[in-house]
Structure 1
């Protein structure tokens, strides 16, 4: 089971990621928004796999009508993913948000 603290730790371990509030919730930015707490226990990330994730596990991966116009955004119920999977999802979101590894 992953937590908001796990999300924070993973995000801040990525190069040049900063934390600042977005809509009153903790959020992490590479060049653009990469992840944000949507509500307690639910994290928003960017991915090209939204449909596949929600199709495989709709109790864990979902979106609201607010997210319809942003097809790369998916919501994750943190209590339903392990820390390793969360790390993979956040690394993918980091790349979607313009983050880059290394010194470049």
Structure 2
């Protein structure tokens, strides 16, 4: 299980990432949104693998109708993911957000 503080630490380790509130929740930005706490214990990240992640592990990865128009966004249940996998997801999300 990963905590919000661990998410914060990883996000802020990337060059140029800043933290501010988005929709009243902690969020991290590298040019554009990189990651945001969606709900208690749930993180939003950007990925090119949304369909594959949700298809192979729907208990960890999913999205809501709100996210249908943003095909790069996926929700991650922090209680279901390890630190290494989260680091890989945040690295990808950083690269996507920083490239815009």
TM-score, structure 1 normalization: 0.93
Alignment of 1:4 onto 2:30: no
Give the distance between the partners of 2:10 and 2:4, measured in 1 at CA. 10
The alignment of Structure 1 onto Structure 2 pairs a total of residues equal to 99
Give the distance between the partners of 2:76 and 2:67, measured in 1 at CA. 13
What secondary structure sits across from 1:98 in the alignment? helix
Aligned-residue CA RMSD in angstroms? 0.7
Aligned ranges for residues 54-73 of structure 1 at < 5 Å? 54-73=54-73
What secondary structure sits across from 1:71 in the alignment? coil
Structure 1 stretches of 4+ moved >4 Å: none
Alignment of 1:14 onto 2:9: no
- 2:31 is aligned to 31
| Superposition deviation, residue 79 in structure 1 | 0.6
CA deviations on 1:22-69 (whole Å, 9 max, x unpaired) are 000000000000000000100000000000000000010000000000
What secondary structure sits across from 1:97 in the alignment? helix
Give the distance between the partners of 2:60 and 2:3, measured in 1 at CA. 14
- 2:74 is aligned to 74
